[in-house]
Structure 1
Amino acid sequence: MYTIYVYVLDTLADWELGYVTSELNSGRFFKKDHPGVSLKTVSYSQRPINTMGGMTVIPNCIIDDIVVSETSILLLPGANTWNDPKHGAIIEKAREFLSVGAMVCAICGATAALANFGLLDNRPHTSNGPGYLEMISPSYKGQSFYIDKPSVRDNNLITASSTGALLWAKQIIEHLGVYQSDTLESWFEYFSTGEPKHFFALMKTLPSSNKN
């Protein structure tokens, strides 16, 4: 079973996590007999945080509680507070994740936090458009590895722009292998186009127990 650690911090951009956390937590479209995943919110302390949308989140655990293994995944959402030094500990933990082959998934402002620590200098990645990381992260040296797409996967690193949450979620779900391939494609097509035919195609891919 995979353990998904979702880092939460003040001004967290709620919508960027919405697709991936709701699907992984609910398991509503998972393959039949898949063991599922364990989803935990984590922060630098266990004090409540307030999201950009005004939601209050109480972390399940702190950074020291994280177990790093190849079945661990770290999700780093966007926020306006990434430049606070207290978040450096989770970026160092992200470095540890990457070094052992565990997955790190960063979106929007979290990509700038990775860039500040040199974690994007030598591997393909994306962010909020060309020039954004240079503007936010003066020490960034990964320009030659930048790919101007909504979400980019490079082995065990997935980065996304603020508008790439759906594709980011798809790539994370694909890595976990919790959906059948036709389920994942129909899910992505439905939410990216809104066309009813993709919803019905999605329903046809599911075992009967998932349709109730």
Structure 2
Amino acid sequence: MNAGRKPVHHAVYDTLADWETGHATAHLARAGYEIRTVGPSTDQVTSIGGLHIRPDLALADVRPEDSSLLILPGGDLWDTSGDLAPFARKAREFLAAGVPVAAICGATAGLAREGLLDDREHTSAVSFYLAATGYQGGTRYVDADAVTDGGLITAGPTEPVAFAREIFRLLGVYEGEVLDAWYRLFHDSDAEAYAVLEQAGGQ
């Protein structure tokens, strides 16, 4: 583990969408980042896919100054209750401290409700999904696979690879042709991209 890098904090909660953050966390870990899971408490949570996860720490104990990035995956609870609102408030704390946040799928709706998308370009599943939250940022919605603005990454549920790409770009994990090759390999199954990654040690 690279001692000079602060951990990446990955939110976990009941109904979290397993498939949305795996590309990001696997390659961040390979790049030397410690991945620390953060739950509402340290009690076990269960993902949509039935994985049981015991968080490393509780949300209340996470401080922006101790982190490189906060990742917020989607989950049914973002739309069916207010249980995850504290994670959106923590995202506000991170962004105010200049520490980036990456939100995908339902987490984007949580950030919309918190007002964090009103003044930033962003994306999600579809524009009317966010419009249903009543937020004020509709004119800043971008129809793209993933968007980064002001230290905040957003993506829809079908774009876990693009989501990871934006995280790698923001943290400087991969850059230039290596970042492009990584995306082409994992998103487009472009076999020629593997040679670029192998040469750069980034596969």
TM-score calculated relative to the size of structure 1: 0.88
Alpha-carbon distance between aligned partners in 1 of 2:95 and 2:66, rounded to the nearest angstrom: 9
Detail structure 1 runs of 4+ shifted over 6 Å in the superposition.
none
Percent sequence identity is 37
> What secondary structure sits across from 2:147 in the alignment?
strand
Answer yes or no: is 1:102 the counterpart of 2:99.
yes
1:70–1:103 contact (8 Å) kept in structure 2 = no
Alpha-carbon distance between aligned partners in 1 of 2:66 and 2:138, rounded to the nearest angstrom: 28
Matches within 5 A, 1:35-74: 36-69=32-65, 71-74=67-70
1:70–1:100 contact (8 Å) kept in structure 2 = no
Change (3 A) 1:175 1:154: same
Alpha-carbon distance between aligned partners in 2 of 1:199 and 1:90, rounded to the nearest angstrom: 37
Aligned partner of 2:72 in structure 1 is: 76
Higher relative contact order, chain-length normalized (CA < 8 Å, sep 6+): 1
| Segment drifting more, 10-19 vs 179-188 | 179-188
1:70–1:102 contact (8 Å) kept in structure 2 = no
Alpha-carbon distance between aligned partners in 2 of 1:62 and 1:70, rounded to the nearest angstrom: 14
TM-score calculated relative to the size of structure 2: 0.91
Query: How far did 1:89 drift?
Result: 1.6
Bigger radius of gyration: 1
Aligned partner of 1:33 in structure 2 is: none
Q: For structure 1, which runs of at least 5 residues remain unmatched after alignment?
A: 31-35
Alpha-carbon distance between aligned partners in 1 of 2:45 and 2:189, rounded to the nearest angstrom: 33
Query: How far did 1:47 drift?
Result: 1.1
| Segment drifting more, 105-114 vs 85-94 | 85-94
Q: For structure 2, which runs of at least 5 residues remain unmatched after alignment?
A: none
Query: How far did 1:180 drift?
Result: 4.7
Query: How far did 1:19 drift?
Result: 0.5
Query: How far did 1:123 drift?
Result: 1.1
Aligned partner of 2:158 in structure 1 is: 163
Matched length: 198
Matches within 5 A, 1:10-159: 10-25=14-29, 27=30, 30=31, 36-69=32-65, 71-83=67-79, 84-135=81-132, 137=133, 139-159=134-154
What RMSD, in angstroms, separates the aligned Cα atoms of the two structures?
Answer: 1.7
> What secondary structure sits across from 1:187 in the alignment?
helix
